[in-house]
Structure 1
């Protein structure tokens, strides 16, 4: 039997290999049209046929540029540059009559989203706008490879059918949502390809090394960044989306090799309530065109299963709250060039053909439903205008951290949300908002539904399963004070914003400089001062000081630079203070004496020495790449202090003593064994600070690095249940992403820089810690009723009440700091980044008696 299976497998491999050699464009392209010979085919440009190799990003761009140079149907523009410098490009394709009038077409199209102007538009004379994009996950490449065919087809096809399509549509072709990931994966797949294709799923070609090509440079999933736009590709894409407001946006993905093909709509019980029903009805109508096209190919497919439209930060859902139809496509992935599956050998060309076919069916549907789609967009914004009349807007602002205000404003303005600065101080919902640091978002604006989605706190749901996170409140993510308000006295609408510049103030005869740790970018200043050799202290207790005749209060975590301890001249110190204050938005105060009216004096031992964080980030097989990437991105991009990134497989050859902080970001660290594990334990005992987060905590506990009691997740043992509910029940116990409230001990070094005693945290795991018996060792604890937003089962919610969120252990002279949530989630959780940075800067000053001891 084994011999027969081997022969069958070998024969299939032979067929796949030789069918690829004979592959021609006729396998992909419609044959009822003629093609312009002046437009180069992909094969003539590359000397290989589409699907024979995985196109790299640079090859893809070079082909599109050549077609753009020759064709009079398209215009290529670069809308962003990735972290690795690769261009994100957009091709605008339409008929010649539209191209000469494109600015007016765009202007009129935008009026559809303005209820005060849209009534005058005759939609029967307007083209529909379709955005086709692919491969936001770099190792899901069939979409980007299909873009070679789509570009050629749109440029070269001739005849009445293509002319009519181009006259009635404006097509925006976004060939690679993730340039860096696509480049990384194409190199892997091509490097590991055999001349005679190997289809065994165990082969190296189908099993990338960690972290794989799915992610961008910093290992982020760019398909979760559409709403809060923290990365350059997303920022540029959001700008173009708001510039065009397309009617359809497609998002071409891949899934497991043993699946088939999916197109939306998804699971109807998991559509976000702010998405109108007609959106899903139109999605279903468009789906009939995909079904018809795939039926002709004989391709298997499914719909209304597995995937959903809840989190508005995904490419297929982000459009749905903005009068557009977002459509997700998922193609079973060959992951290489041909792979054995339960459905037979899945070839790369087959996956490309399905993607190209549904790109075509999308355009056919858009043309057929053109007036329906244009009317839907107009009606959507008319509905928004009516809803917003009775709705409240939002006031927000943090008087202690202008930098965090700036970062939140940047997100809002990126999404074309109308924001106004306050003219007067306002009190609302028990909070005070100052005119210098607060803003108003009126409900009466086109983006009202998007704003509501970004600000709402939702805890009730029709369904208990989610494809992605169930909570994504912007002000909670930023730990931003906010309140609802109908109206407010405001200034001129913000159109642009500048980063807030800080300044040096205070006395002239300088004994020392101080600044608050509240500012988001204070760690960047401290890090660079330490790199320059400055002696720095942090206040572990509050104090007051008289400055220019006025008494000022300084809180826990105030940074002190004593002039007398520095080797630099007073002039050089002042120049540094002025430069860092301006760059990082800090207000730095000069003080003329170390004697304080109340609280600790400058020579007190309660001003602890701050030392340079020398951090190692352990990564590799088992580690959650996105969690590790969040740490890398935060430290490198925002604080100019990149960690040493060490793979677990190399850890037994690393001198741990070079570092004072080691970070376990999430996942399991089973690759850390033998000498490496012994060295890590010895390093902690010798004074190192180990930071372990989320799923890394159980690993640390089981390996004797942390002394924490973990709560057990309740099991389902009540009676008999239908087998069909097994998956639903188990998935309903997951915490895919919800927001909870913790209580902070503001006097604890891990809470320095926080004014609030309670703050929101994000959790996407089921690690629950008991609070420590030592009353000083749990600086962060969940409140009695901690759920702020998102879904959690009743069984799991019981685990949270008064449980530990942040715990501190010690072993020998070292510390182990445990976060059971994710303080750096997806780069947009600005509100808890300071907790993580405090662990790096101040973990070493925590008193060992305020910890839970781990047995040595």
Structure 2
């Protein structure tokens, strides 16, 4: 085992906390107290910084630890590192250490890692520990002791409140049955380990902003898995993304060898090269990898179910103390591995960024995205690129180029125009750009456990091209991106017009509704002042808003500026072509009272995505209803009810579903997402039905199809799977559910969608034949994913049912589909 600590003036965790680590779970506030204590006691070897707060207001910390002579020049070391790789101007000085970043407790109920970090911190700061002090001569170790304090505290508070005085190892004891929603997720029930590339959550945004200021050579992420599992360390499983370098792969093996040495000495069980792959770019191991680091996941058996003691099926009892020992040992073994190879680690890191700047990977060297009438989307994209430290410019002249067209999926001649956004790969973050923008991510092995397609142009819903060469561009920001009013000022205009094609437009609508401004929208296209406006365009007339007086104009301009979108004043309600503003086709948009289902049976992330959309993305009031008491809720208090994905058999019983149906008939609007849509299919009164199962017919034709090989069971199962793949959905964009889109949109499909077209309803979005775009789809799944409904609308009495077979709010990063959900809430049925 790695060496322990000697006697020092520093209190070890047991002395400070008053209990032996492993005998209880430590509250986040006590973890913070110990951090602050160490910072006061060892200021010459530890610099502690608060880099942000969680949604619930808990502080986020980073501890920088090194030898005294390095802590004194910590800022110089940080800037040197950025200068070496081209992210900061200037010449670096010599004698640079390797920078290691260790992240703990990204999943709140994988609580052992923040227990282990207490001892890691102590041993690194203990001057009597000669071995750790030797490592610190070659390294700066950055430690994030708890990435997800809100989730951790949710778990710890629950566990400490229900645990027996003597831990009960029986898996059926209450202390092993964590209640909904569990502590895995953050406040909004997002998985922070899936958010590094997208940075939709407050914690991720703050953490990555700091990461980009350091750019470590190694990042390790500490997790837990099933209580029946052992311990996992690198090398990772296939698939490896093709842009992971030979050195990064080699160091995965080196890290594994050093961990193996200590685990073998202690006769601890472990496994490698299984399950945990390096493909999807938003993990704590992959995103740092595409930023040049050597990165890995560590997984300890246990997780939220294990508690203090857990009886395994093999008869052994897994204790929290044992789990701590494993993560502690892996932490120190990782630091040791880098410290012993500091020069090589720095050399390869420098080469990675030199290659990015001079010979970037992949067949495409420039990505171009169209800006005309997409200003709000482009502004959202540039905000995202800034967070990633990705440089961009704007095209300085028009030209015809041969390029890959994301919309058609073909290489063809395309027109590049002045002010189009251009991203050159000749820059430090080239590999990350290539990975995020690649139309097709090459999958070396189909056995991967997450999303397999994610191209940014599809995610943001932007027309884009990938070019094999460079293109002339300027760094000047087009005026259009900063412009709120698109026409010269008109004193007290008759109305303001706002196009409807992005999340920013929903944000503006929400803000104006909060101000109780009356808003209309056009169901049909119209033209005024030589500009064409598509269906869904918001029309904010002075008529009906007279009571606001002069503040009417000020509110609209202010909120448009906050939302970052253009609005157009017009002096008249008379249009050149189409419908005038007093037409029956210009609908008054009501301010709906919205409720969303939560609680046991509902997928926590699915609910969290809806909750986050309303509260954080568009800041619109939403009432959360718990499944436990839903059958007692007077639904007449609400206009819209959202059913996130989940299992509804015990929630919407026949009696309760009848109550929901009566509410819809009386004028309510029901919006079902993913598996909630599947639950409604075939139910009395609902027009949606499933397609007949074709598998049984195939078996009748060929009974040998049932003969399967046990050893190939995992691969045979994925024939029925969809793993986050991009599909082109055909839209009826004359329907309010598809306002703001063209005749197609690119959806990120998570599961097999297998519904018949509705006879009594509107089939607004459908998958036709040959519409697969990218990502992994199993052979049998691909057969089902055609001629099927994705988006539907049914009139039921005086109310509406909106069927969304997939999840338009998935992880909050697929911006292209958020407008669909906004249409469902605000447009359909008005």
Q: TM-score if structure 1 supplies the norm length?
A: 0.89
Q: C-alpha deviations, 1:525-562, integer Å up to 9, x for none?
A: 323333433332210011223xxxx4332221111223
Q: Is the 8 A contact 1:504 1:577 kept in 2?
A: no
Q: Which of the numbers 638, 657, 664 marks the counterpart of 1:677?
A: 657
Q: Distance in 1 between matches of 2:794 and 2:80?
A: 62
C-alpha spacing 1:425/1:52, structure 2 compared with 1 (3 Å): farther
Q: Which of the numbers 222, 226, 231 marks the counterpart of 1:256?
A: 226
Partner of 2:577: 598
Number of aligned residue pairs: give it: 805
Q: Is the 8 A contact 1:632 1:642 kept in 2?
A: no
Partner of 1:806: 791
Partner of 2:669: 689
Q: Is the 8 A contact 2:104 2:222 kept in 1?
A: yes
Q: Does residue 339 in structure 1 map to residue 310 in structure 2?
A: yes
Secondary structure of the corresponding residue to residue 521 of structure 1: helix
Displacement, 1:281?
Answer: 1.6
Secondary structure of the corresponding residue to residue 544 of structure 1: strand
- Mean Cα deviation higher: 615-624 or 777-786: 777-786
- Mean Cα deviation higher: 229-238 or 699-708: 699-708
Q: Which of the numbers 503, 509, 512 marks the counterpart of 1:526?
A: 509
Q: Does residue 510 in structure 1 map to residue 479 in structure 2?
A: no
- Mean Cα deviation higher: 40-49 or 390-399: 390-399
Partner of 1:838: 823
Q: Is the 8 A contact 2:221 2:284 kept in 1?
A: yes
Q: Distance in 2 between matches of 1:120 and 1:398?
A: 38
C-alpha spacing 1:783/1:675, structure 2 compared with 1 (3 Å): closer
Displacement, 1:144?
Answer: 1.0
Displacement, 1:119?
Answer: 12
Partner of 1:635: 614
Q: C-alpha deviations, 1:480-507, integer Å up to 9, x for none?
A: 121123223322378x999845237464
Q: Does residue 103 in structure 1 map to residue 75 in structure 2?
A: yes
Displacement, 1:622?
Answer: 2.1
Partner of 2:181: 211
Partner of 1:9: none
Q: Distance in 2 between matches of 1:843 and 1:834?
A: 12
Q: Which of the numbers 689, 708, 728 marks the counterpart of 2:688?
A: 708
Secondary structure of the corresponding residue to residue 373 of structure 2: coil
Displacement, 1:769?
Answer: 2.0
RMSD: 2.6
Q: Distance in 1 between matches of 2:549 and 2:369?
A: 39
Q: Which of the numbers 473, 478, 484 marks the counterpart of 1:490?
A: 473
Q: Which of the numbers 216, 220, 237 marks the counterpart of 1:267?
A: 237
Q: C-alpha deviations, 1:440-480, integer Å up to 9, x for none?
A: 11121121111110011226532222121111111111111
Q: Does residue 566 in structure 1 map to residue 545 in structure 2?
A: yes
Partner of 2:762: 777
Displacement, 1:387?
Answer: 3.2
Q: Distance in 1 between matches of 2:414 and 2:685?
A: 42
Displacement, 1:391?
Answer: 4.3
Q: Which of the numbers 283, 295, 317 marks the counterpart of 2:286?
A: 317
Partner of 1:326: 295
Q: Is the 8 A contact 2:719 2:780 kept in 1?
A: no
- Mean Cα deviation higher: 711-720 or 224-233: 711-720
Q: Distance in 1 between matches of 2:2 and 2:338?
A: 19
Q: Distance in 2 between matches of 1:193 and 1:157?
A: 37
Displacement, 1:159?
Answer: 4.5
Partner of 2:736: 749
Q: Distance in 2 between matches of 1:92 and 1:501?
A: 43
Q: Distance in 1 between matches of 2:129 and 2:600?
A: 53
Q: Distance in 2 between matches of 1:592 and 1:121?
A: 63
Displacement, 1:385?
Answer: 4.0
C-alpha spacing 1:321/1:597, structure 2 compared with 1 (3 Å): closer
Displacement, 1:384?
Answer: 3.0
Displacement, 1:431?
Answer: 5.6
Q: Which of the numbers 361, 372, 386 marks the counterpart of 1:413?
A: 386
Displacement, 1:403?
Answer: 2.6
C-alpha spacing 1:296/1:443, structure 2 compared with 1 (3 Å): same
What aligned pairs does 1:210-289 form with structure 2 within 5 A after superposition?
Answer: 210-268=180-238, 270-289=239-258
Give 5+ residue unaligned stretches, structure 2. 404-412
C-alpha spacing 1:778/1:152, structure 2 compared with 1 (3 Å): same
Q: Which of the numbers 744, 747, 767 marks the counterpart of 1:761?
A: 747
Give 5+ residue unaligned stretches, structure 1. 1-27, 846-856
Secondary structure of the corresponding residue to residue 360 of structure 1: helix
Q: Distance in 2 between matches of 1:198 and 1:160?
A: 39
Secondary structure of the corresponding residue to residue 587 of structure 1: coil
Q: Distance in 2 between matches of 1:54 and 1:493?
A: 53
Q: C-alpha deviations, 1:369-397, integer Å up to 9, x for none?
A: 22332222123233334532874211114
Q: Distance in 2 between matches of 1:407 and 1:682?
A: 41
Q: Does residue 376 in structure 1 map to residue 348 in structure 2?
A: yes
Q: Distance in 1 between matches of 2:730 and 2:91?
A: 52
- Mean Cα deviation higher: 337-346 or 529-538: 529-538
Secondary structure of the corresponding residue to residue 210 of structure 2: helix
- Mean Cα deviation higher: 705-714 or 401-410: 705-714
Q: Is the 8 A contact 2:511 2:559 kept in 1?
A: no
Q: Does residue 787 in structure 1 map to residue 749 in structure 2?
A: no
Q: Does residue 480 in structure 1 map to residue 462 in structure 2?
A: yes
Secondary structure of the corresponding residue to residue 771 of structure 2: strand
C-alpha spacing 1:435/1:633, structure 2 compared with 1 (3 Å): farther
Q: Distance in 1 between matches of 2:516 and 2:15?
A: 60
Q: Distance in 1 between matches of 2:158 and 2:92?
A: 54
C-alpha spacing 1:60/1:493, structure 2 compared with 1 (3 Å): farther
Partner of 2:96: 126
Q: Which of the numbers 720, 723, 743 marks the counterpart of 1:733?
A: 720
Q: C-alpha deviations, 1:407-426, integer Å up to 9, x for none?
A: 22122221211211333355
Q: C-alpha deviations, 1:556-613, integer Å up to 9, x for none?
A: 1111223222341442322222222222223333333322232112221101121112
Partner of 2:147: 177
- Mean Cα deviation higher: 591-600 or 791-800: 591-600
Q: Distance in 1 between matches of 2:242 and 2:479?
A: 32
Partner of 1:295: 264
Q: Distance in 1 between matches of 2:685 and 2:636?
A: 17
Q: C-alpha deviations, 1:683-735, integer Å up to 9, x for none?
A: 11112111111111121125435322323474786263321111221134221
- Mean Cα deviation higher: 63-72 or 727-736: 727-736
Q: Which of the numbers 43, 49, 54 marks the counterpart of 2:25?
A: 54
Q: Which of the numbers 158, 164, 167 marks the counterpart of 2:137?
A: 167
Q: Does residue 470 in structure 1 map to residue 452 in structure 2?
A: yes
Q: Distance in 1 between matches of 2:669 and 2:87?
A: 57
Displacement, 1:360?
Answer: 0.9
Q: Distance in 2 between matches of 1:160 and 1:212?
A: 41
Partner of 2:431: 449
Q: TM-score if structure 2 supplies the norm length?
A: 0.92
Q: Does residue 86 in structure 1 map to residue 58 in structure 2?
A: yes
Partner of 2:518: 535
Q: Distance in 2 between matches of 1:308 and 1:193?
A: 35
Q: Distance in 1 between matches of 2:292 and 2:694?
A: 41
C-alpha spacing 1:517/1:119, structure 2 compared with 1 (3 Å): closer
Q: Is the 8 A contact 1:80 1:87 kept in 2?
A: yes
Q: Distance in 2 between matches of 1:66 and 1:435?
A: 57
Q: C-alpha deviations, 1:612-658, integer Å up to 9, x for none?
A: 12111111222111111111111111211132111111101211111
Q: Is the 8 A contact 1:513 1:590 kept in 2?
A: yes
